[in-house]
């Protein structure tokens, strides 16, 4: 027993070595990534802050009506956002939305193509699955540490941590959607002379559209669940007051900011929940 405990497998040192190597050799890559993501975040944040709150509320209500064609969802969205304004959390909400939207851009931009590739190449997907499991189960605090090392403090490491946690969802859902396209439809596409690309855009993606939309919904909700953790590495947004409340043991502030997060989550969820029409 003593012998067994004496020779500890050096995961600690190995991880240290890997990240040290990455830091010294990947400087250019990480800087470029940091600049790119920083640019994305700045652009979205600038747009959300340039528009007056009431105009944003009006746009969201109008969009809700266009998508859902009923009065319930627009009313809920309007009331919810007015509540946020009333509680004085508008700026934080816009900052968190920036994080969520950036995560959407990155996760859907990577997740959909990877999911398609996974559906087309089962062996690639079989190799990918344990990595996706790891990304979803590894506690986020663990990869926050290297995120700080590589990207410093701020929105970018928050976004990176969010993407690592969220990315598996759109990959999995896209893969399921594309892989489940019925054989008769695929054969019909082939029988009329489709190229592989035409088969994808004319059959597989339209078929997978509900799953891909579910992937988008998941991406948004999971990203929102990361705002508090992102705040720990210095990302602005609704997580900041929660962390502050925790440090000061301020129950009132904690609940106030917590409820605002819940309201944002409800509004986003209702906005995005589109029933599939047709079949």
Partner 1 sequence: MSEAIVFDNVSIIFGGTAERALALADAGQTRAEIQAETGDVLGVHDCSLTVEAGEIVVLMGLSGSGKSTLLRAVNGLNAVTRGAVRVDGGEGLVDMASADARTMRRMRRSRIAMVFQQFGLMPWRNVTENVGFGLEVSGMSRAEREARVSEQLALVGLSDWADRRVGELSGGMQQRVGLARAFATEAPILLMDEPFSALDPLIRQRLQDELLDLQARLKRTILFVSHDLDEAFHIGNRIAIMDGGKIVQAGTPQEIIANPKTRYVADFVANMNPLRVLRAEDIMQPGATAPEDAPRIAHDTPVQALMAEQLAADGTVAVEEGGAVVGMVTARDVLTALTNADKRRPDEDKDGDKA
Binding site for partner 1 (CB under 8 A): 184-185, 187-195, 198, 202-203, 206-207, 209, 278-279
Compare residues 43 and 198 and give the one whose CB is closer to partner 1. Answer: 198
Compare residues 19 and 207 and give the one whose CB is closer to partner 1. Answer: 207
Shortest Cβ distance from residue 183 to partner 1 (Å)?
9
Shortest Cβ distance from residue 162 to partner 1 (Å)?
32
Shortest Cβ distance from residue 261 to partner 1 (Å)?
36
Compare residues 52 and 184 and give the one whose CB is closer to partner 1. Answer: 184
CA dihedral 116, 121, 124, 125 (to 10 degrees): 60
Compare residues 91 and 194 and give the one whose CB is closer to partner 1. Answer: 194
Burial 242-274 (b: 16+ CB within 10 A, else e): bbebeeeeeeeebebbeebbebbbebbebbbee
Shortest Cβ distance from residue 86 to partner 1 (Å)?
42
75: left (phi over 0), alpha (psi -120 to 50) or beta: alpha
Contact by Cβ (8 Å): 166, 135: no
Shortest Cβ distance from residue 116 to partner 1 (Å)?
18
How far apart CA 109 and CA 105 sit, in angstroms, is 6
Burial 118-145 (b: 16+ CB within 10 A, else e): bbeeeeebeebeeebeebeeeebeebbe
The contacts of residue 69 (CB under 8 Å, 6+ apart) are none
Shortest Cβ distance from residue 172 to partner 1 (Å)?
22
Contact by Cβ (8 Å): 224, 100: yes
Compare residues 136 and 194 and give the one whose CB is closer to partner 1. Answer: 194
Compare residues 18 and 209 and give the one whose CB is closer to partner 1. Answer: 209
């Amino acid at each position: 027993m003593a012998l067994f405990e004496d020779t500890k497998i050096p995961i600690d040192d190995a991880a240290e070595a890997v990240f040290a190597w990455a830091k010294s050799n990947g400087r250019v890559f990480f800087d470029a990534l940091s600049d790119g993501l920083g640019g994305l975040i700045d652009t979205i944040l600038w747009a959300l802050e340039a528009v007056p709150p009431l105009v944003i509320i009006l746009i969201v209500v109008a969009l809700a009506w266009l998508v859902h064609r009923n009065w319930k969802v627009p009313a809920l969205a309007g009331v919810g956002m007015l509540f946020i304004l009333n509680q004085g959390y508008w700026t934080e909400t816009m900052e968190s939305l920036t994080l969520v939207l950036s995560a959407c851009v990155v996760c859907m931009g990577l997740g959909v193509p990877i999911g398609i590739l996974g559906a087309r190449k089962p062996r690639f997907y079989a190799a990918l699955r344990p990595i996706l499991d790891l990304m979803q189960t590894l506690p986020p605090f663990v990869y926050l540490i290297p995120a700080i090392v590589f990207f410093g403090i701020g929105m970018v490491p928050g976004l990176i941590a969010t993407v690592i946690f969220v990315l598996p969802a759109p990959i999995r859902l896209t893969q399921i959607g594309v892989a489940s396209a019925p054989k008769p439809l695929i054969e019909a596409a082939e029988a009329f002379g489709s190229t592989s690309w035409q088969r994808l855009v004319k059959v597989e993606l339209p078929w997978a559209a509900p799953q891909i939309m579910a992937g988008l919904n998941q991406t948004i909700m999971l990203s929102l669940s990361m705002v508090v953790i992102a705040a720990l590495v210095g990302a602005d947004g609704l997580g900041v007051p929660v962390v502050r409340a925790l440090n000061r043991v301020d129950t009132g502030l904690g609940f106030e900011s917590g409820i605002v997060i819940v309201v944002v989550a409800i509004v986003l969820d209702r906005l995005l929940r589109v029933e599939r029409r047709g079949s």
